[in-house]
Every structure is written in C-alpha cells, then in structure tokens.
Structure 1
C-alpha cells in the first residue's frame, strides 16, 4: 500500500518542537499499517526535521543554543538577508539538519525508540505554518 498526504503544522516559535501528536493526529492511516515506513518531507528551506530526545526538555534548549552559536545571525559575510537577520542562518541550519526523515512503522505506530520524538526545528523568528508531505508505504 502507498498513501500520501500533506500535513499542516501550526506556526511555532523559534526552537525545537515535538510534532509526534500532530503527525499521528493528521495521518490516521498509520494505524492501518502493520509493517512499513513513513517518509516525511518538509517543504521549506528555513526549518528542518530531526529525531531526538523526547524526555528532557533541556536537550531542546541546548540544541537551539548550540545552533544559534554555531550559525550566528548578522555574520558580515552573509549576502542573503532579504527577509531579515535570521534568514540566511535558517537556510544553513536547514541544510545542516535536513528536511526529511524516514521512520519505521510497526503495529500501527511510529517505531521510535523509548526516548525519541520527531521534531520540527523552527529556525525563523516569525514563522508561519509549515507543510510536510507524508508518504506511507507498508502493509
């Protein structure tokens, strides 16, 4: 079976946001798959997707602080700043983390590890909703 759907993620503040509930809430077909894969593709260049710690929220703050130090705003060598000082850093962070994930599905659920969650990494100060193409394959 193949199934594809667009998922709309609500606008979020800058930072790392757990989106497992939004995925499961909008992609009800996961429950019909005993064994398969979910591919998520974020249709944006200033946000990213990652899988990381879902138990301790300090991990998310540390990730945000690290990326802000690793890729600072207002670097003198940036030429692309049409949408503000967070514009080019957002593109660099997106290229670093990536815009897609593939997650196994087992018995109608995302087969994530005990401490894992799926995160939208919002790199813009004033972002709008984000679109994700979800493709399911399985039986």
Structure 2
C-alpha cells in the first residue's frame, strides 16, 4: 500500500561548505517504516543548495567550492570576458555574502528526488547527499523530506 511521510530536517551550518546529510536522510527513511519509494527533498532557503556528489575524496568538494567561488565572486560581477569594471552587487541586505549566495543557489539546485530501497537511499558507491551552504556565516537550515512509498 502506498503511503507518504513528511518531515522537516533542521541543520546548523558552520558557514560556507558541505554537510553530508546522507545518514540523517537514511535515518528519516528508516523511521518512516517505508521500505521502497521516492524521497523528494526541498531546501527551504534561497542561499544554500542540495547536491549529490563524491563522498570519498574531500578534494572533490574543495574543487567544487573553489570553482563556484571563482564563477560567482564575493565582491561583485565583471563582464564574462573578465575585462571591464567590477560592479558590486546591489542586494546586500543581509551582508556582503548575501547576493553571491543567492546566485550560487540559482546555479545549483534546492531540490532533489532520490529513490530509496530497503529503507535506505539508492546511491552509488562513492556518492553522498550534501547540503551546500553558500553563506559565510553560520546558519540554521531546514529541508523538507517528503517520502512516498511502500
């Protein structure tokens, strides 16, 4: 029989970086009693994102973060050519890391849909699910975890 389960996961970040949330998601799936189905994950913030990526070599996450920081610099934006004047971001209501975090989120994703089987996420051998914090300061984050399955 098809059932559903909705739970909000709360996470504290230490600032910019990755938090492996795979174990927390597997625990939520196990607590739901569902064995097989689909997990719909939605990050309820516009300055952090979700990603499935490498869990064995931390240099992968370091390189991803460096790439996104280079693509979306903290101080403002220049023409794609790299030539021309730096234009500081107009939106800075919550500090200088506010607008870069919103752009980084727009370039990544705030939702994932993942299968689960036998009460655990179906992931590749070297994969994990991460909350990717784009703000420099610590934040309190929430993720809606909606499970549909049997």
- The normalised TM-score by structure 2 is 0.86
Q: Which of the numbers 62, 87, 90 marks the counterpart of 2:101? A: 90
On the 8 A contact 1:12/1:128 being kept in 2, the answer is yes
Structure 1 runs of 4+ aligned residues shifted over 4 Å read none
How many residues are matched? 138
Aligned counterpart, 1:62: 63
Q: Which of the numbers 23, 26, 29 marks the counterpart of 2:25? A: 23
Q: Which has the larger radius of gyration?
A: 2
On the 8 A contact 1:7/1:131 being kept in 2, the answer is yes
- Matching of residues 59-138 of structure 1 within 5 Å: 59-75=60-76, 76-138=87-149
- In structure 2, stretches of 5+ residues that fail to align are 77-86
Quote the RMSD (CA, aligned, Å). 1.4
Q: Deviations over 1:14-61 (max 9, x none)?
A: 11221112323455435x223200011000000000000111100010
- The normalised TM-score by structure 1 is 0.92
